[in-house]
Amino acid sequence: MARSSLEDMPVLPLAESFALTAAYNADSFPDKVNLGQGVYRDENSRPWVLPSVRSAEERLHKQNLNHEYLPITGHSPFNQKARQLIFGRELANHQNIRTIQTVAGTGANHLAALFCARYVRPKNVFISDPSWDNHYSIWETAGPDITQKLYPYYDAVARSFNFEGTMAELEDSAEENDIVVLHPCAHNPTGHDPTHDQWRKIAEIVGRKRLFVVFDSAYQGFASGDPDADAWAIRNFYSTFFGYSSPLSKNPPAGMLVCQSLSKNFGLYGERIGALHLITHPSVSAEGAYSHLIRLVRSEISCPALFGARIVDTIWSDSELRTHWEKDVKTMALRIQGVRVALKSELEKINTKGDWSHITRQIGMFSYTGLSKSQVQLLREVHHVYMLDNGRMSMSGLNGKNIGYVARAIKDVIGQAQ
């Protein structure tokens, strides 16, 4: 009898963030701190249901709605609202933007990678170094024949965005039709974003070399507290290459994809709500490409989930609820900004070795602390403070009760490493 190849399959390790959460949950130490999981927590380290979301839930409950299947493309009112959120009301009406509902941001990224592998057919995909770890896995799974190349996003010495390194890599290595994965705001894991001028220069090289951009928008509104400000890069790229007025590029890229998660900014983690937006040049019909996206969704999930889509639509369809949601988003963003200031202040107050100004120069949920893997392991083993091995800290896990403890723990492991 032929031997099954399944017998030789090795046991793969659990994804680091999930393994870290499991280890944290199993830890009985009373003062343990979880700085690994990328979810919002309130000042008491508890999950926070946005008040605007709770109000929307109550309204939906009173309507005695059914639970029928959605169309393959998703909940049409949700798609419209998601498009308005990411592109603004004026651009969202353009017919060269087509939207399909996805299983959160991960599903949007996976669908984007599948689409690009089958129909764009690039030689290379450029992913920032470092990036959200799932970017590498998604592109390996969806496009195994596409070469992954890393552009040097982070300057470890200056602890800032490596603009020169990024531009040089794209200039030297990117070929026409290659994919570039970009984070429009709150870069994960570094928390460092390009300036507007730098974004314009990135757009220039994208247009000149005719590259295909995939934006991954996971933190719109959550980053700065202003959803419009956090969408600036996406809207600028759209207006530059694909707007109905004459594009600046005479020979623009073939298209662009925008992956949109609504997990963080609506607190709908478990509802797995997201969208993928396909943008084509106004002179080209989007129908053909859009139909292929629809077929990919049909073969994978048939149709997406309904409840989260109804919540987003309910909030964005009511001016009072939308205003309340904007206040909720700002509440989350301001709390994260506040703990950044508090942690930096505490580290400096106790004379922790090093310059900690990068903590407040970063934006969004994460801080790329600069701690080494061995220091992170010491934090976990000695102090029960959990963060990813690369030193990425989820700022949401900090609060007034544990910032002092975490700062002292960081100072201790830095001292032990000397």
d(CA 7, CA 176): 42
32 an active-site residue?
Answer: no
CB 304 within 8 A of CB 103: yes
CB 196 within 8 A of CB 203: no
Catalytic one of 149, 178, 199, 216: 216
Other Cβ atoms less than 10 A from the Cβ of 24: the count is: 20
Pairing of strands 124-129, 147-152: parallel
Catalytic one of 48, 132, 139, 199: 132
d(CA 367, CA 352): 17
216 an active-site residue?
Answer: yes
- CA dihedral (273, 84, 135, 182) in degrees, to 10, reads -170
CB 325 within 8 A of CB 47: no
Strands of the sheet containing 179-182, edge to edge, are 97-103, 273-280, 255-261, 212-217, 179-182, 124-129, 147-152
63 phi, psi to nearest 5 deg? -85, -5
Would you state the structure tokens that stand for residue 399, as one six-digit string?
């609060």
Would you state the structure tokens that stand for residue 130, as one six-digit string?
């470092």
Pairing of strands 124-129, 179-182: parallel
Exposed / middle / buried, residue 201 (Cβ in 10 Å: 0-12, 13-18, 19+): middle
- Angle of the 319-349 helix axis to the 307-316 helix axis, nearest 10: 100
Would you state the structure tokens that stand for residue 325, as one six-digit string?
């949601």
Catalytic one of 48, 81, 149, 264: 264
132 an active-site residue?
Answer: yes
d(CA 29, CA 46): 17
Could you give the residue numbers annotated as active site? 132, 216, 264
